Chains A and B, each alone.
Chain A
Amino acid sequence: MSTLPSLILRTAVRWIAPLLLLFSLFLLVRGHHEPGGGFSGGLIASTGFALLTFGYDLVTARRLLRVHPSALVLAGVGLALASGAVPMLGGQPFLTGLWVTIPLTGEAALKLGTPLVFDVGVYLAVIGATLAMLFAFAEE
């Protein structure tokens, strides 16, 4: 997109892109109990970067991502694999969900588990895969 991007789009993207990224994280984390999850979160985050590519240019979007999208795919699949491998150390089958409960103040408690790590892996892999394609198209 070498044509001059509009000022309105550029200004809007400035505000919308970080919001989209935050929202994607929100979707990722809430996914276990409410609609959302790694897949939709990842798609939202990619949309944020797609808007950056529109409003600014490919170079800016790439710089803000910091790493090559394919590295994200690798990290995502690796993280998912690792989260599955952890239970194997304890002699349990591959991909068994393990949970720890961290007590917070009062009644509240935070439950963390390997499925969350797995979902983060999905999130990263989805971002990486969609952005790899998107950047490749944008470069054309």
Chain B
Amino acid sequence: MLLSLATLAVLILLAPIAVPRLERRFGYLVALASAASFGCFGTRLPDLFRDGPYSESVPWLPTLGSELALRLDGLSALFALLVTGIGAVVALYTVGYLEDDPRLTRFWVAFLLFELAMLGLVLADDLLVLFVFWELTSVASFFLIGFAHDRPRVRANAQQALVVTGAGGLALLAGFLLLAQEAGPFRLSELSTTARLPVDTPLASAAFALVLLGAITKSAQVPFHFWLPNAMEAPTPVSAYLHSATMVKAGIYLLARLSPLFGSHPWWEPALVALGGTTAVVGALLAVTQRDLKRLLAYSTVAALGTLVLLLGLGAAAAKAFTLFLLAHALYKGGAFLLAGAIEHGTGQRALERLGQLWRHAPPLTASALLVVLAAAGLPPALGFVAKEAVLETGLRSTAPFVTVVLTGSFLGQTAVAWLLLRPFFARRTPEPSLEHPPHWTLLSGPAALGGAALVGGLVVSWIAPLVAAVANSVTGAAKSQVELALWHSVTPVLGMSVVILTAAALLAIAWPRCASLGDRLALTEPLPERPRGLGRLAPERGYRAGLEGVLRLASVQTRILQNGYLRLYITVIVGTAILLTAATVLRTRGPVASGLPTRTPVDLLDAILVLIIVVSGFVAVRASERLAAVAALGALGFSLALLYARYGAPDLAITQVLVDTLTVVLLVFAFYRLPRYARLSSTATRLRDAFVAAIFGGMMAGFTLLVFALEPPSRISTFFNEQAYPAAHGRNVVNTILVDFRALDTLGEITVLGLASIGVLTLLTYRRGERTR
């Protein structure tokens, strides 16, 4: 498992060097690596069935009690096989799809990053590791959707997908932390087997709600489904891989993974059935009213994701149906997207009504299309058929009759979408769209491979029975169970329902032009415009837009108030914050101050003179009517202060004070002739306000110093430094040992800040110079 992840990581690092040399052939390398991983996971299956789950781990963040722990059980094996297997097919397909696009390097880096993250996500046995990979899939998806970033619409949609899934990711993190706090370990396997979590505490319920929020944003459940059709701006291989077969199923994976833990929670069934059922129906309804081939498939994916969530909500009884449908859908929907991409690549056309008669021009493409359509529609030899039977049977057996209605309705829509895929090949169209060039073999192999796998899956269904049983065990938390699968069950009510759905869906597909014009009238066929009309007015996407606008408005309002460009305001805010925080502490501990003010010592004459100079020059600097006088007064103040430091045994501080003052004067001299006329710009009221703030700050610092002396803590840190400076840090200058040894990390931070500040000054001055010359 670690080896597979490492291989992908190496390929990511290799891509920037190798892609410019190998160009499109790099895709073969990616396909090969993915296929090898697929083979590795495949050969592990017999062991997995015999001996149970298998783990690997590397220490990571030991102080947080978190490890890079991976675990292969039925559920993760199924997902790992999908990620690597479909990854191999899609990588091969991309060779023909993107050809020699100049942005290939960027594409492959993001693609491999996604594959790595998704594989890590499904193998992770540690909550934090899972979360990190979860976020990485969102980031990789952002880059892949935004592949054609020169179009504003693409950028907006990539951002939307990132914001929606990223916000869900934050909720997920909060949920995970609550979960870890309540149940202890970060290990997923321990969380779900020991079931130490008392499920109905308020904390556990909050954790469940947050995790659910993360899962449904990722898996595009209503009302967060809108990002998925918009993500169709991505290149089609990406749509097939991320937004149909794998990434959008991450939320499903998480819910399945946590179902042994949360399955007994009172909210589990109602929440999942309601969300999944709504999504299944809404997705199906929206799918059949679309005109764009990819949006059609996207909404049908939404419907399928809803079906999966609904099945999870039904609990252990639906585990077999869930697994079968998950596998079948990943295969045929991935194939369908690849088919759509091949059609678009060949004809430059994605609108369903403008396509037709392609069978004359591209017989090989038609053949692979037939494979995909038969698999997607769920005709008998296909895995989809077995899956549909299992799902409908679960629906019939469930206690709520509306579940059957919802499932039937959703399948009706999804099957109609499958039939609609035949339109580009057989519909009569004048003028016929011509194929610009015969598709490259890689473009044909993708849909053919996935569609073919889904189609023959039904024939070998008894082979995958142990895998289904293993997945069902992971989902239900059972130790061992047997699953019997067969293609043919004799004539049952479920078979009757299948036949009805197939026929009705075919009729719906024939009546599609009416559906599409209905969609036009309700304003559903196009991406949501600026001013929505029709049903678009009810779209949840408007909520997203309002939220985004609200955030921007809040940002600009607070920027106007806090970042208004006046240095004096910034200083007032900083000083004010310091006053509030320190004053609160001082006031809380004021008792001992009153009792233990330091005893008075006779005042030294030289000290008194220095203090007098400091006070007077401070007043002079404030009241000066000329700049030179102000600078001179400040200089006198600084040097007197340095003398005070030197007299009280702080030579390092004195040296630094003198040098800083000198350099400040030097800087002022450079800028002197360029500064504007020295004028009094602030009103008396402003000056009084500033004087008030300054006086409070000074008074507070004095009080604070007195407090420190009065408190006399049990052990002073300075004693430690004094004692340890030579033995531990090999230095006799205590200040220096503190700076470079004891508190070296602070110093490192300070010099970094200093460097950044200098870059800031450089940038500001260069920017001003640029403005002036323009």
Contacts and interface: CB of A to CB of B under 8 A. Distances in A.
Contacts of B736: 31-32, 36-37, 119
A130 B666 CA distance: 11
B752 interface: yes
Interface residues of A, number: 53
Given A47-B663, A140-B671, A84 B744 contact: yes
A44 interface: yes
B406 to A, nearest CB: 57
Nearest to B759: A70
Interface residues of B, number: 41
A45 to B, nearest CB: 10
Interface string A68-111: 01100110110011001000000000110101000000000001
B744 A118 contact: yes
Contacts of A115: 729-731, 737, 740-741, 744
B585 interface: no
A122 interface: yes
Contact of A133 (B659, B758, B766): B758
Contacts of A121: 751
Given A129-B754, A133-B761, A35 B733 contact: yes
A22 to B, nearest CB: 16
A100 to B, nearest CB: 11
B755 interface: yes
A47 B659 contact: yes
Interface in A113-139: 113, 115-116, 118-119, 121-122, 125-126, 128-130, 132-134, 136-139
Nearest to B668: A137
Contacts of A46: 663
Nearest to B752: A77
B687 to A, nearest CB: 28
Interface stretch (B296-304, B410-418, B650-658): B650-658
B535 interface: no
A43 interface: yes
A38 interface: yes
Nearest to B751: A125
A35 B740 contact: no
B670 interface: yes
Contacts of B755: 70, 73-74, 76-77, 125, 128-129
Given A126-B751, A130-B663, A138-B670, A40 B655 contact: yes
B741 A97 contact: yes
Contacts of A138: 670
Given A115-B731, A136-B765, A95 B663 contact: no
Contact of B762 (A38, A80, A119, A132): A132
A76 B758 CA distance: 13
Contact of A113 (B651, B670, B730, B757): B730
Contacts of A27: 655
A80 B732 CA distance: 21
A103 B192 CA distance: 63
A31 B757 CA distance: 25
B667 interface: yes
B660 A122 contact: no
B531 to A, nearest CB: 49
A9 interface: no
Contact of A122 (B730, B740, B762): B740
A134 B729 contact: no
B765 A139 contact: yes
B735 interface: yes
Contacts of A80: 744, 747-748, 751
B740 A37 contact: yes
A40 to B, nearest CB: 5
Nearest to A101: B730
Contacts of B766: 136
A113 B744 CA distance: 14
Contact of B733 (A32, A70, A133): A32
B546 interface: no
Nearest to A135: B762
A111 B761 CA distance: 39
A123 B739 CA distance: 12
Contacts of A34: 732-733
Contact of B758 (A37, A38, A130): A130
A140 B751 contact: no
B652 A129 contact: no
A34 B732 CA distance: 7
B765 A140 contact: yes
Nearest to A73: B755
B503 interface: no
A33 interface: yes
B730 A44 contact: no
A70 B766 CA distance: 14
Contacts of B674: 140
A13 B40 CA distance: 73
A35 B744 CA distance: 17
A54 to B, nearest CB: 8
A81 B755 CA distance: 14
Nearest to A119: B740
A1 interface: yes
A34 B734 CA distance: 9
Among A40, A46, A53, chain B packs the most CB atoms within 10 A around the CB of A40
A118 B667 contact: no
Contacts of A119: 736, 739-740
Contacts of B3: none
Given A47-B663, A97-B741, A32 B751 contact: no
Contacts of B758: 69-70, 73, 128-130, 132-133
A38 B652 CA distance: 11
A50 interface: yes
A137 B765 contact: yes
B769 to A, nearest CB: 8
A56 interface: no
A70 B731 CA distance: 30
Contacts of B731: 32-33, 115
A30 B12 CA distance: 49
Given A36-B736, A40-B656, 17 more contacts: A27-B655, A34-B732, A35-B655, A36-B733, A37-B733, A46-B663, A47-B659, A50-B663, A73-B755, A73-B758, A80-B744, A115-B740, A115-B741, A122-B751, A126-B754, A129-B757, A129-B758
Give 4 nearest A-B pairs by CB, closest first: A43-B659, A73-B755, A35-B651, A129-B758
30 contacts: A32-B733, A37-B740, A38-B739, A43-B656, A47-B659, A47-B662, A50-B666, A70-B755, A70-B759, A70-B762, A73-B758, A76-B751, A99-B730, A111-B730, A115-B744, A118-B744, A118-B747, A119-B736, A121-B751, A122-B739, A128-B758, A130-B758, A132-B758, A132-B759, A133-B762, A134-B663, A136-B762, A137-B667, A137-B670, A137-B671
